[in-house]
Amino acid sequence: MRREPTILHLDMDAFYASAEQAAKPSLRGKAVVVGGLGPRGVVATASYEARRFGVHSAMPMGQARRLAPHAAYLVPRFGLYRDISEQVMGLLRELSPLVEPLSLDEAFVDLEAAGAAWDAASARTTGERLRTDIKTLTGLTGSVGLAASKMLAKIASEEAKPDGLVLIRPGTERALLAPMPVRTLPGVGPATGDHLRRAGITTVGEIAEAGEDELIRLLGKAHGSALHAMARAQDDRPVVAERDTKSVSVEDTYDVDIHDRVRVRTEVQRLADRCVQRLRAAGRSGRTVVLKVRRYDFSTLTRSETLRGPTDDPSVVREAAARLLEAVDTTGGVRLLGVGVSSLADFTQEDLFAQAAGEHPAEPEPEAEEEHEEAPAPAERRWPAGHDVHHTAYGPGWIQGSGLGRVTVRFETPGSLPGRVRTFRTDDADLTLSDPLPLVPEAMRRPPPQPVAEDAAEQEDEKDPGAIPGPAAGPRDGA
C-alpha cells in the first residue's frame, strides 16, 4: 500500500451507449441499448436512461426489450469505439509511462511514475484535468477513482459514476470498505457471494472480522487468504504497463443456424480477413491459426494448424482456416464461427503461402476453360441498426432499422440538430454504408491551458480545503 492516493482508475461512463448518443443527436437523453439484436444476442452496454428500467450488460436482449420496449437498440460499432479508446489511452500515456489498459474503456495509471502526482491534492488536480481533457477530445465523460492501491482505485471509480471523481484518503480505507457488500471485492461473484451469505457474512467488514482461518475453511487457501487481505484493504499489486497479448481472434454468432456449406466457407473467409486486420492493427503476426465452430447442439469444436513461421498475410490465414474447416462436420447447422491467430510475434516471415499450403511446388495455372460455373448471386446487403450510411442526395446519416426490403435512415451528424427520417429500398444504389464521423471536430479538440505544476496544490487548497489529508477528513471525496 502506498502512503498517497497516486493510483488512478479511469472508467468511461456507459462507453458504447454514450458514444452512440454523442454521435446521434436524436438519442441524447433517451434509453439506448447496444448489443446483439438477434434472438441470441446479449446487451453489451446500456445507457443510464435504459438502466432505470433494469437493463444491464450481459442481459439477454429479449429480456431487455421486454423491460425497455421503447429504447433504441443498436448494433455495436467497434471501429468507432477503438478509435475513441486510442484517443483516451493517449491522454493517459501523457500522464505516465505506466498505463495498464483493462479494456477499451478502462485502465489503471501510476501517477507517481512520471511525477504527475505526489499527494492527495496533486492527484485530485490531475484527475480533474484528465476528465476535462477527455470531454474536450472525445465529447464523452469518464469517472475517476484515486487511491493508494489498484483495488481501492477501482472501487472509487465505481462510487464516482457517472461523470465524477472520488479520492480515497490513506488511513480511511477500512472504514470505507466495512459497510460495503461482499460483491464489492474483486473475485466475489454470485457463487462466492451466496456461499458467504449462507455463512452469515454479507459485508466486507464481516469478512475482515471472520478471520483468515475461517475464510480458508469456507473458500480454500488461495481464495480465502486473498479475500481476507482485500477486506483489510491490503493490495500491493503494481500497475503493469504492458500485457503480452497471446492471441487475436474474431467470431460471429448467427441469429439462424447456417446449414449451407458454401455460406459457412464464405463466413470463415470473411472472419479470417477481419482477424488479420486486427492482427496488423496490433503490429503483430502469428504462427498458429485457430478455427472455432459451435454447432446447432451447442457443441463447440476447436481446430488449429501451426505454420512454420509467423505471418500476417490474409491469404495464408484464409487458406489455413479453410483447411481446418474441411475437418469439421457442419451438417446439422452452425450457430457460431470464429477465426483466431495465436503464438504471436512482432515480425513476419514473408512468402509463407507455399508453406501454409503444404510446401507443394508452384505449378503453372491451367488455361482458362471456355465453360465456367455460373457466378453466385451477390449477397444481399446488410443494414445493421445504428451503423453509418451516406446518401448521394441527403448526406450522412445512420440506420434506424431495416426489414421487408426497406431500410430507414435518420439523417443527422454529431454536431447537428436531430434530423429527419427517410425510408429507402435496401438495394438503393444511392445509399451506402460509410465510416463513422468523429464525435468532436478536429478544430474543437484543443485542450484548455494547463496550470503550472507548482501551483497545483495551492489551487486545490482554494477550491476544496478538505482535499488535503488531516484528522477531520472524511473517508472519501466525491466530485
Helices then strands, each counted (H, E), the chain: 15, 18
- CA–CA distance, 146 with 142 (Å, rounded to integer): 13
- Catalytic residue flag (residue 462): no
How does DSSP classify residue 439? S
The candidate with the shortest Cα–Cα distance to 185, out of 193, 133, 288, is: 193
With a CB cutoff of 8 Å and minimum separation 6, the contacts of 325 are 264, 265, 268, 291, 293
How does DSSP classify residue 470? -
Report how far apart the first and last C-alpha atoms of the chain are (Å, whole number).
Answer: 24
Q: Cβ(247)–Cβ(14) under 8 Å?
A: no
Annotated binding residue 83: no
412 vs 24, 30, 31, 418, CA distance in Å? 7, 16, 18, 6
With a CB cutoff of 8 Å and minimum separation 6, the contacts of 365 are none
Phi, psi of 398 (to 5 degrees): -145, 155
- CA–CA distance, 177 with 204 (Å, rounded to integer): 6
Q: Cβ(350)–Cβ(261) under 8 Å?
A: no
- Residues 20, 106, 173, 319: which is the catalytic one? 106
Read out DSSP for 375-421? PPPPPPPP--TT-EEEETTTEEEEEEEEETTEEEEEE--TTS---EE
Strand ranges for 104-219 from DSSP E: 106-110, 142-147, 165-168
Phi, psi of 165 (to 5 degrees): -140, 130
Helix H or strand E segment including 121: helix 120-138
Strand ranges for 104-188 from DSSP E: 106-110, 142-147, 165-168
Annotated binding residue 11: yes
The candidate with the shortest Cα–Cα distance to 352, out of 327, 402, 317, 385, is: 317
Q: Cβ(414)–Cβ(439) under 8 Å?
A: yes
Q: Cβ(196)–Cβ(188) under 8 Å?
A: yes
Q: Pick out the residues of the known binding site for Mg(2+).
A: 11, 105
For the annotated catalytic residues, the residue numbers are 106
